[in-house]
Amino acid sequence: MPADPAMVVRSPEDSPGTFGAMRSLFLRDLRVAFRQKQDLLNPLLFFIMVVSLFPLGVSPEVSFLSRAGSGILWVAALLSVLLSLDHLFRHDYDDGTLEQLVLQPQSLFLLVLAKTLAHWVVTGLPLVLLSPVLGVMVHLEGNSLGMLCLTLLIGTPVLSLIGSIGAALTLGLRSAGVLLSLLIIPLYIPVLIFGTGTVAAAAEGAPVGAYIALMGAFLVLAVTLAPFATAAALRISLSNS
């Protein structure tokens, strides 16, 4: 029989705060991403390739490109985010770190938010940074170019956040790729419409304040709601494994 009474049960003060846990998760994911350069470069190369194929495949005329350019860039960015989504939780699921994440005492909502933010930093943000260069390539004018970068800056985090729901839901499946696209693309459509709509309005010189506000509303909505759904989906996927 044990000599001591029970071991002391840990109280909330014994654990580091939620912010510390989020920070360490965020940094870990960045570190892993930078050691796996292929995963990091693939969406970016895909983005460049799709955008550069349009002038070759459709028409290199300035009038066409400057009209269609923002749409091409937006669709390419959307697809390359979609391409990268499968990696968001897959590796963690395979090596067991996802189980450890779910069992952490901090709120899974915030941990998922940190993880999705890390995903955006390594996929969405590089796309945003690259878009001015590709925008010039498709002859976007100054005003539209700036607006394109701004809408991508607001829009790509929304894509990552919405996508995380699909990635979490399809986690236990063997060939999740197609199903993931089917689930997620309908949800991406409003973001795409308003993203390209903003740039089109700016090109015509119309006021864009309302468009930007709406994009901002999408972002707020995604930040506050998507991690809930993702956290719940992660628990379900793990429970089924």
Partner 1 sequence: MSEPLLQAVNLECERDDRVLFRDLSVAIVPGTLTRVEGPNGTGKTTLLRILAGLSDHYSGQVLWRGEPRNHRREEFARNLLYIGHKPGIKPLLTPMENLRSLVSGRRPLSDDVLSQALEGTGLAGFQTVPCRNLSAGQQRRVALARLLVSDEPLWILDEAFTAIDHHGVAALENLLQERARQGGAVIVTTHHDMDLPDMKRVTLGGLHAG
Confirm if 80 and 46 have CB atoms less than 8 A apart.
Answer: yes
Q: Binder to partner 1 among 41, 58, 99, 182 (CB under 8 A)?
A: 99
Stretch that binds partner 1, among 52-60, 80-88, 100-108, 173-181 (CB under 8 A): 100-108
Question: Does 112 help bind partner 1 (rule: CB under 8 A)?
Answer: no
Cβ neighbors of 42 (< 8 A, separation 6 or more) are 83, 84
Stretch that binds partner 1, among 23-31, 130-138, 176-184, 208-216 (CB under 8 A): 23-31
Confirm if 102 and 238 have CB atoms less than 8 A apart.
Answer: yes
Residue closer to partner 1 by CB (options 19, 206) is: 19
Give the residue ranges of DSSP H helices in the chain. Answer: 18-35, 37-57, 62-84, 87-95, 97-102, 108-122, 124-137, 142-169, 177-203, 209-240
Question: Does 97 help bind partner 1 (rule: CB under 8 A)?
Answer: yes
Q: How many CB atoms lie within 10 A of CB 2?
A: 6
Nearest distance in Å: CB 86, partner 1: 17
Question: Does 37 help bind partner 1 (rule: CB under 8 A)?
Answer: no
Q: What is the CA radius of gyration of the chain?
A: 21
List residues near partner 1 by CB under 8 A.
Answer: 1-10, 12, 14-16, 20-21, 24-25, 28, 31-32, 35-36, 91, 94-97, 99-100, 102-106, 235, 238-240
